[in-house]
Amino acid sequence: MISLSLIRKSDLWYSFTRSRSAMVAAIVLAMLILTAIFAPLIAPQNPYDPAQLDMWKSELPPIWDQLGEWPYVLGTDTQGRDMLSAILYGTRISVVIGIASVALSLLVGLSLGLVAGYFGGVVDNLLMRFGDVLLSIPTILIAILVSTVVRQMLPPELRDVGSSAVLVLAITLSGWVQYARTVRAQTIVERSKEYVQAARLLRVPARRIMVRHILPNTLTPIMVAATLNFGMAILTEATLSFLGIGMPPGQPSLGTLIRIGNQFLFSGLWWIVLFPVLQLCLLVVSVNLLGDWLRDALNPKLR
Amino acid sequence: MTALTVTHLSRTFDVSASWLNRVVERKPRQFLQAVNDISFTVPLGGCLSLVGESGCGKSTVARLVTGLYPPTKGDLRFAPGKKGDALSAQMIFQDPYASLNPRWRVKNIIAEPLRELKLRDTKAEVTERVEELLRIVGLSPTDGAKFPHEFSGGQRQRISIARALASEPEFLVCDEPTSALDVSVQAQILNLMRRLQDELGLTYLFISHDLSVVRHMSNRIAVMYLGRIVEEADTETLFADPKHPYTKLLLQTIPDIANPHRDREVAAGEVPSPLNPPKGCTFHPRCPMAMACCSIEIPQMREIGGTRVACHAV
Ligand SMILES: Nc1ncnc2c1ncn2[C@@H]1O[C@H](COP(=O)(O)OP(=O)(O)OP(=O)(O)O)[C@@H](O)[C@H]1O
Ligand code: SF4
Ligand SMILES: [Mg+2]
C-alpha cells in the first residue's frame, strides 16, 4: 500500500502543488464527481420519478430571475423537471459511462498491446492492423454503427436498460487501440532489456513476465492517455446522446439533456440547454487540464 | 573435466529491411553473421575468458550459451552438475542499469529465482536467504527494501550477482560485468567474483574487451575477431607468447602503468562491419603481416604447443 507520507514526498505531489491549473482542475473535478455520486442525497428532486414532477412548475427560469422559484435554482424544463437535479443525475451517468469505457478500453488495450509487443510476428501484425483499421474510421461512425446494430439485436424492453452498456462498448471499440499502441511500443523496448532476459533465464512464464515485469514499466504514458481519454469518452457519449443514439430521455445523460434543451433554445427557454452545456464543459476542461499537467509532470524532458 | 563443450557454433541474424521496403527499394535480404563457427571448452571449476573489440559477437556467444538465443548451427553441451542433470547457466549482464527492473524492490529482485525455482518453501526462509545473499555480495540486509535507482553502478552489479547466485547455479556467464564501472570499483567486483568462484566452486565464462581485466580472472583466454575465435591459449602463455597478430595488437593497447609514455603502434584502421566482412582472413585489412593468400583463403585453426591459432603467418 502507498502510504500518505510517501505520496507527499513524491515528485509528482511536489509538481502538483506547483501547478495552479492542476490544483484548480482537481478541486473542480472532485466537486463535480462527488456531487454526481451523491446526487440522490443532495438533489432537490429525483428527476426519474414522474410522481415528483409537477406540471405547474414547468418552464420556470433560474432562481435569480423574477419568476424563479425555490428550490428550482437553475429553473425547470417543460415537464417541470428541476434542471439542477437533472444535471447532477446526468453527470452521474456521463461519469459512470466515461469511467466504465476507459476501464474496459484499458483492459482490452493493455492485454492486446502486451501480447502484440511481447510475441511480435504474426500476432502483432494481425492485432495492430486490426487496430489501424478501427482507427481509420471516425469514432463517432463506429459508435453509431455499434449502437444501432446492437440496439436492433436487443429486445425492445431491454433497449433502454442496455443503452449505457451499448455506449460503453461503442466507445471501447475505438478507444482500446491507443492504449494497445502505447503499451506495444513500450513493451518492445522493455522486452529487449536485460532484466527481462534475466527473468527468461529463470523460465518465468511469459504471462508473468508481461504482467509483473513489463506492465508496471509501461504505466506512466498509460496514465496520461487514460486521463485524457476519460474526457474524450465523456464527450463521445455526449455527442452520441445528442444525436439521439445514446442515453434515452428516460435516463438523460448530459448529452441527452443538451439534445432536449436544444429544441427550446429559440423559444427563450435558454436555461434548459445552457446549464447542461456549462456542466459538460467544466467536466471535460478540468479532466483535460489535469491530463495535460500529468503529461508534463511525468515527462522527464520537461522537468 | 569440462563443464561446457561448444562445437562449430554459429549464429546469424536476419537484419533485412521490412518486406515492403525490400520490394520498393529492390534490396536483397541481409544477414549478419554475429558468431561464426566457434568451438571451445570451459573446464569445470575454471574460467574461460572471451576477449575482443566491441561488436565482435561476445554478447551473442553469452546469449547462445545461456539459451536466450537458439544457435543457427552447431552444438553446445553442458556436463552433468552436482544433481545429475545438465548444469544450468545463469548470467550477469553488461549494463547494470537495464539488468534490474526499476519498479521492483531489491529484495524481490533477489527473491525471484528463489520463488520461481521453488528453492525455499516459506516466506521466512526466502527472506532469510535474501538477507544472506545480500551479505555475501557485500551489501547490507536493509538494502533489500530499496529500489535499484538508489544504488551506484557497482552496487547494482553486486545485486545482479546476488540474483544470479540465488538460483544456485554452477555455471555463470559474466558478460562484461565491469565494463560500465569505474576502475576502482571494477577491482572490487572482480575480487568479489573470484572469491565467490573459490568459495562456491563456480565455473565462469567471462567476457571482456579488456585483456588486463581478464588476466586476473581466467585460466584460459580465447580472442575473438568478427565472430570467430582467432587464438586460444592458457592465460600466461597468451601474455608471454602471443601468436596471432590481432592478439599482439590487443596486448599492445593495454595501458602500461610502469611506462605510460612508451611508443604504441596505433591500432590500424577500423573494425570492418560484420554485415560485410572482408574475404579470406577477416583481419587482413588491419594486419601488419598480411600476405597475398590472406585475402583469399580463410586460415584454419591449428594447434601449436597448447595454443590454438588461426593465421597463415604462424
Ligand atoms: N538481436 C540482434 N539482431 C541483429 N543483430 C544483432 C543482434 N544482436 C547482436 N547483433 C549484431 O551482432 C554483432 C555482435 O554483437 P554483440 O552484442 O554480440 O557484440 P559484443 O562483442 O558483445 O559487443 P560489445 O562489446 O559492444 O557488447 C553486432 O554487429 C550486433 O549489431
Ligand atoms: S591470416 Fe594473414 S591477415 Fe590474417 S592474421 Fe594471419 S597474417 Fe594477418
Ligand atoms: Mg556485449
Give pLDDT tens digits for B4-25.
Answer: 999 999 999 998 888 888 888 8
pLDDT tier for residue B269 given thresholds of 50, 70 and 90:
low
Dist CA A228 CA B192 (whole Å): 50
pLDDT tier for residue B268 given thresholds of 50, 70 and 90:
low
Comparison of pLDDT for B261 and B313, the residue scoring more: B313
Distance from CA of B312 to the nearest CA of A (A): 39
The reply to whether ligand 1 has any atom less than 6 angstroms from the CB of B33 is no
Are B224 and B9 within 8 A, CB to CB? no
Q: Which residues of A touch B (CB under 8 A)?
A: 193-195, 197-204, 213, 216-217
C-alpha cell at B107: 529484495
Comparison of pLDDT for B55 and A67, the residue scoring more: B55
What mean pLDDT, rounded, does chain B reach?
90
Check residue A76 and report its DSSP letter.
B
Cα of first residue to Cα of last residue in chain B, in angstroms, is 30
The reply to whether ligand 2 has any atom less than 6 angstroms from the CB of B193 is no
For residue B18, give the chain A residue with the closest CA: A121
Contact (CB<8Å) A203/B116? yes
Element (H, E) at A116: helix A83-119
C-alpha cell at B68: 536466450
For position A4, what pLDDT does the model report? 67
* C-alpha A71: how far from chain center: 30
pLDDT tier for residue B310 given thresholds of 50, 70 and 90:
very high
Phi and psi torsions of B171, nearest 5° = -130, 125
SS3 A247: coil
Domain that residue A290 falls in: 4-302
Share of chain B above pLDDT 90, in %: 68
Of B97, B94, B44, B91, which is closest to residue B63 (Cα–Cα)? B91
B20-53 pLDDT per residue, tens: 888 888 888 889 999 999 999 999 999 999 999 9
- Cβ–Cβ contact B150 with A under 8 A: no
B144-171 pLDDT per residue, tens: 999 999 999 999 999 999 999 999 999 9
Strand residue runs (E) in chain B: 2-14, 31-43, 47-51, 73-78, 89-92, 171-175, 203-208, 220-225, 228-234, 302-304, 307-309
Share of chain B above pLDDT 70, in %: 95
Contact (CB<8Å) B101/A194? no
Are A38 and A29 within 8 A, CB to CB? no
Rounded to two decimals, the pTM is 0.85
Distance from CA of B38 to the nearest CA of A (A): 23
B217-262 pLDDT per residue, tens: 899 999 999 999 999 999 999 999 999 999 999 988 776 655 555 5
Per-domain boundaries in chain B: 2-88+169-232
Of B164, B96, B95, B114, which is closest to residue B136 (Cα–Cα)? B164
Classify domain B2-88+169-232 at the CATH topology level: Rossmann fold (3.40.50)
For position B160, what pLDDT does the model report? 96
* C-alpha A173: how far from chain center: 14
What is the interface pTM, i.e. ipTM, of the complex?
0.88
Burial grade of A233 (CB within 10 A; 0-12, 13-18, 19 or more): buried
**Mean pLDDT, residues B267-296:** 85
Domain total in chain A: 1
Dist CA A250 CA B285 (whole Å): 84
Dist CA A8 CA A6 (whole Å): 5
Are A170 and A193 within 8 A, CB to CB? no
For position A1, what pLDDT does the model report? 46
Longest dimension (CA), chain B: 69
For position A32, what pLDDT does the model report? 93
Using a CB cutoff of 8 Å and minimum separation of 24, what contacts does A148-155 make?
A: A148/A245, A151/A245
Cα B57 to averaged position of ligand 1 atoms, centre (Å): 5
Low-confidence residues of chain A: pLDDT under 70: 1-9, 160, 300-303
C-alpha cell at A32: 463535480
Cα B56 to averaged position of ligand 2 atoms, centre (Å): 17
The reply to whether ligand 1 has any atom less than 6 angstroms from the CB of B34 is yes
For residue A197, give the chain B residue with the closest CA: B68
- Cβ–Cβ contact B156 with A under 8 A: no
C-alpha cell at B83: 544433481
For position B120, what pLDDT does the model report? 92
CATH number at residue A107: 1.10.3720.10
